[in-house]
Structure formats: structure tokens, C-alpha cells
Amino acid sequence: MRRFGMILPATLLGLLLTAGPTLACGGLIGPNGAVNLLRTTTFAGYHNGMEHYITAFQFAGGGGAFGSITPLPAVPTSVEKGGDWTLQRLIRETSPQLLFAADSVRAAASGGAEELMKVRIDALDITVLRGGAADIGTWASDHGFRLPPDAPEVLDFYAARSQIFLAAAFDADAAAARGQQVGDGTSVHITIPTENPWVPLRILALGKTGSERVDADVFLLTDNAPALLPAPIGTNGIRLDHSAGASEGLLNDLRSDRGMDWVPTSAWLTKVAVDSSASGLSYDLAIDASGAGAPSRVDAGLVLPGGQSMVPGADVARLLLAVLFSLMGVAGIYLMTRYRPSDAIG
Amino acid sequence: MFLDRAVAALGLGIATALGAAVFAGAVARSHEPLVIDLTIHYSRFEPATISVPAGRPVTFVIHNTDPIDHEWIVGDEALHARHRTGTEPVHDARPTEVSIGPLTERRTTVTFAQPGTLTFICHLPGHEAYGMKGTLTITGG
């Protein structure tokens, strides 16, 4: 069982689907050119070795089909329609004055991929996949998704640690036929057995470049106060907005929602706000919910399972080698300046 | 005496033949395509700077190691301006405009008549902004 655990949160990539006239060279975009799949708030609860990941796909208008891909730490035991008010209730708990202030991260978006599970939830077709980056990319292409240019590197980043992904295809035409209005969301509840919760953050930047901003809210509900890596200190793109024992009223409200009977009678509520440039969001959020205070560097995406650095330019061995050669050069210069012909002559 | 002249004539003949062969080979090689390997990895061209001679056919072997579609379109700024707002989903009619499918390889042979500097760019949405472009310098030959 891989050490990192859980789920994913957030993000997705907005992939464009080629259900209609397609993208070609030059400008984008999808069917009718106006469809957007927006990503809103996500919730990762962890109890009894299970991560419960809940996210919502918001219908932003338009037609055709769009989708997203989310990395998962392990094969989920279930993917089902999420509760009706869990996300809204969490927002109210931590930001009462912003009752409906969803942060709206844009959802962005292989033949060798193995389809482990297929579920239809409202206008969403969800498929759980197992495969490497090439497999997932090929599967996406075969199913009409057009991945953004950073997808190959991002998929590799995740596949090096877990080869489980969740693809969600959103049929905007079906959503409209169901009477869904712009702004309506479909929440999805994914249950994953794992040793520790995990929230993929880097994928939130998928499809964005340079200084484009990534804004998202991630709620965590754990048995104990969690240790987080990277620490949400604010200057690194993630900020701790709330950290306190969950109120009895919140837990009761959450427990009364659909599929939320797993919520314990006592828990710790954490809210992490992501406010980063796309290029700065090169890591995930590792969580140690056990109380041991040792979140995994692998889960955070800082090192590969074998210990190799995943951060370009942070190869410790090469860095040490460079320092060594620099010191040798400085020592050589020093010796040359110390040596004088007259000294040798005597 | 005769033998000396015969040997000299034979040597001259061989030397002439060899010279002609070398010259012919050189001429032939100048018409053989120069092969340039170009790799696409993580939506970047590698190498991103290429130099080729004018007047000689150049075969570009483009390896797409990414699991997504890419394009290799080479030309001047006017051509790229058209492609930035173009609508062709696939390029396969011109040797200077090639679509490369996920995890595939494409070959295209081009002869650049005049020295100069061109750029090659992938014009799929977002790819140029991501940095998927390079420079092709055509030398005097």
C-alpha cells in the first residue's frame, strides 16, 4: 500500500472535449466556445483509514462536453453522488459572512489505461483509471479530451507516485436537458482506503501558465489536528485559514447529509486556502492525521518514492558537487596568490 | 620503358577515376537529405535551436514522446500569425506544417531555398505560450 494516501482534491483540469468543432491551430476552444467547467470547494475527510473526498462540478453554461482528470492515491471503494449541503455548510462554518462565496478555480482539464470503475452521476460520466502518464494521456485523447500542454509533465509527476486517476466527463447538453442552471453543481463523493489523507494541489495549476493565479479552498476533517507539508505559512502559496476542533453543530449537520454517516462525533477542522501563481504551485499537500507529526515528503511531491528529488534544480548530489568544485577553485586561487617565485628561490 | 609508361597511365587513370568518384559522391551527398532528429518532450522542442544549409534537402524526424497531440509548423512571422487564429485541426498537406500524434513519429523533408531565420511553433491551444517554439537558422550552404 503506498504511503500517500488520499485523495485528491481538487482540481481538475479542464480538458476540452472535441464533441463539436474542434480546436485547431490557433485559438481554442470547445464546442460553442463558451462552456466552462468550474472547480469550486473541495473537502477531504479522514476517519478509520478512509479518505472521503467530496468535490463539486459546477455548470457554467454552454453546450457540448467537458471534463477533468484527477490523480488519486489509491483505488476508491466507491464513487457516488455527494451530499447536498456538505460543502456549503463547511464554507458557512469557516466564512459565515461569505455564505455562497465559492472560489471558482477553473477546471482545466491511453489506450493502455485500465478502466477500474465507471459511474454516471447526473450529467457526469466518471471513470476510475489505472495507468502511467502515457496511458492516461492516450485514454483522454481517445475519449475526446484535449489535454493542456503541461499535462505530460504533470501526469508524470503524479504517475511516479500513484497510477490511479479519476476522469470526469461533463456533458453540458445533458446538464441543460436535466434542467441544470448555470451555477448548479454536481457533488461527487469518493471513498478511498489510505494510510493518510493527501490532497493534490499541483494539478490545480494544470492548464495555467506563469503568473496565472490558482485560488482554491481545501477543507480537512481529521480525528486529530493534522501536520501539513508544506506548512501553510502563506508566503509559499498556501495559507492556514482555520484550524480548530469541529463544533458539534457542524458535525451533526455534516452527518445528516447524504453519504456522510461516517462523520465521527469528535474531529478537527482545517481550512487551507490556496493562493498561488501557477508556476509556484509545484507541490501537493501531505497530511499526517495520525498525530505523529510526520507528513510524507513523497506525498508532498518533493521527492520520489526512492528518495530522488522531484524539484528541478534541487538535486542535492549535484548541488554538493558544484559546491565542492567551487571550493576547490577558491582553494586553488588562494594557493596561487600565496605562492611567490621569490619564495621558491629562497 | 613501355612498362613504365603503362604503369604511369594506369596510375593516372585510377587517380582520375577516384577523383571523379569522389566528386560524384560529393555532388550526390549534397542532394541527399540532411537528417535532423527533433524530440518533443513535456511540450518542448529539443533541440530548440537548429541550423541547416540552404539549398539542401533536410529531413526532420520528429519524435513526439508526449501522450498529447502536437504540431511542428515552420515559417516566418506572417505564417505564424495566420496559424495563431487558424482552424485546421490537422496538418499534413505541406512539408513545413506537420501534426504529430501522441507517442508517434513523423518525417518531413524540406529544402529551404534562401538563407535566413525562421521559427517553428506548435499552434495547438496554449502550446506556444507554454514555450513550445524554436529557431531554425538557414545558412548560406
Cβ contact (<8 Å) for B102 and A138?
yes
CB contact under 8 A, B129 and A209: yes
Please give the average per-residue pLDDT across A20-48, as a whole number.
Answer: 45
Question: Could you give the angle at which helices A133-142 and A151-159 cross, rounded to 10 degrees?
Answer: 130
pLDDT tens-place string over residues A166-186: 988 877 777 778 777 666 678
Banded model confidence at residue B33, pLDDT cuts 50, 70, 90: confident
Q: Do B68 and B88 belong to one domain?
A: yes
Point out the residue among A141, A207, A209 whose CB comes nearest to the CB of B102: A141
Residue carrying the nine cell digits 495547438? B124
Which pLDDT belongs to residue A182? 61
Q: Report DSSP letters for A176-234, one per residue.
A: HHTTPPTT-EEEEEEEEE-SS-EE--GGGGTT--TT-EEEEEEEEEESSPPEEES--BS
B86 in the same domain as B23: no
**The domain spanning residue B75 has which CATH number?**
2.60.40.420
The answer to whether residues B52 and B104 belong to one domain is yes
Query: What are the residues facing A240 on neighbouring strands?
Result: A272
- Banded pLDDT at A6 (limits 50, 70, 90): very low
B89 and B121 part of one domain = yes
The whole-model pTM stands at 0.73
Chain A CB contacts of B72 below 8 Å: none
- In this structure, the answer to whether residues B20 and B58 fall within a common structural domain is no
Identify whether residues B62 and B79 lie together within a single domain. yes
B75 plus B8 within the same structural domain: no
Which residues are CB-neighbours of A185 under 8 A, at least 6 positions away?
A40, A56, A57, A58, A59
- Cα–Cα distance measured from residue A319 to residue A316, given in angstroms and rounded to the nearest whole number: 5
Q: pLDDT > 70: what percent of chain A?
A: 68
Lowest mean pLDDT among A107-121, A140-154, A280-294, B79-93: A107-121
Q: Are A148 and B122 in contact (CB under 8 A)?
A: no
Q: Could you tell me what percentage of chain A is helix, strand and coil, using 3-state DSSP and rounding each to the nearest 5?
A: 20, 35, 45
Q: Would you tell me how many other CB atoms lie within 10 Å of the CB of residue A333?
A: 10
Beta bridge partners of B38: B62
Residue of A25, A29, A163 to mutate for B, most B C-beta atoms under 10 A: A25
Check: CB of residue B102 under 8 Å from CB of residue B67: yes
Contact (CB, 8 A) for A212 and A276: no
Contacts of A135 in chain B (CB under 8 A): 67
DSSP state of A161: T
Percent of chain A with pLDDT over 90: 35
Same-domain status, B71 and B119: yes
Coil, helix or strand at residue A303: strand
Residue A29 above 70 pLDDT? Answer: no
Given a contact cutoff of 8 angstroms between Cβ atoms, the answer to whether A218 and A39 are in contact is no
Q: Chain B: which residues have CB within 8 Å of chain A?
A: 41-43, 66-69, 71, 73, 83-91, 102-103, 122-127, 129-130, 132
Rounded to whole angstroms, what are the CA distances from B84 to A25, A26, B79, B88, B127? 6, 4, 9, 11, 11
Rounded to whole angstroms, what are the CA distances from A206 to A27, A132, A309, A335, B137? 18, 17, 21, 52, 33
Which residues in chain B touch residue A24, judged by CB atoms under 8 angstroms apart?
Answer: 86-90, 124
Could you give the angle at which helices A86-94 and A248-255 cross, rounded to 10 degrees?
A: 170
Distance CA A89, CA A95 (A): 10
B55 plus B13 within the same structural domain: no
ipTM over 0.90 threshold: no
Whether residue B74 sits in one domain with residue B48: yes
Rounded-to-integer distance, Cα A274 and Cα A206, Å: 14
Q: Does residue A93 contact residue A248 with C-beta atoms inside 8 Å?
A: no
**CA–CA–CA angle A139, A144, A149 (5° rounding):** 75
pLDDT at residue A265 tops 70: yes
Q: Which of A25, A135, A207 lies at the smallest CB-CB distance from B86? A: A25
Question: Which chain B residues have a beta carbon less than 8 Å from that of A150?
Answer: 42-43, 130
How far lies B10's CA from each of A334, B1, B2, B3, B19, in Å?
Answer: 69, 14, 12, 10, 14
Is cis: bond before A230, omega within 30 of 0?
Answer: yes
Tell whether B122 and B111 lie within a shared domain: yes
* Number of folded domains that form chain B: 2
CB-based contact A87:A54 (threshold 8 Å): yes
My answer on whether B107 and B120 are in the same domain is yes
Closest CA to A35 of A69, A58, A9: A58
Which residues in chain A have Cβ-Cβ distances shorter than 8 Å to B125? 16, 23, 26-29, 146, 148
With contact defined as beta carbons under 8 Å apart, do A222 and A48 qualify? Answer: no
CA distances from A193 to A1, A253, B84 (A): 10, 24, 46
Range of the domain at B84: 33-139
pLDDT at B24: 47
Model confidence at A220: pLDDT above 80? yes
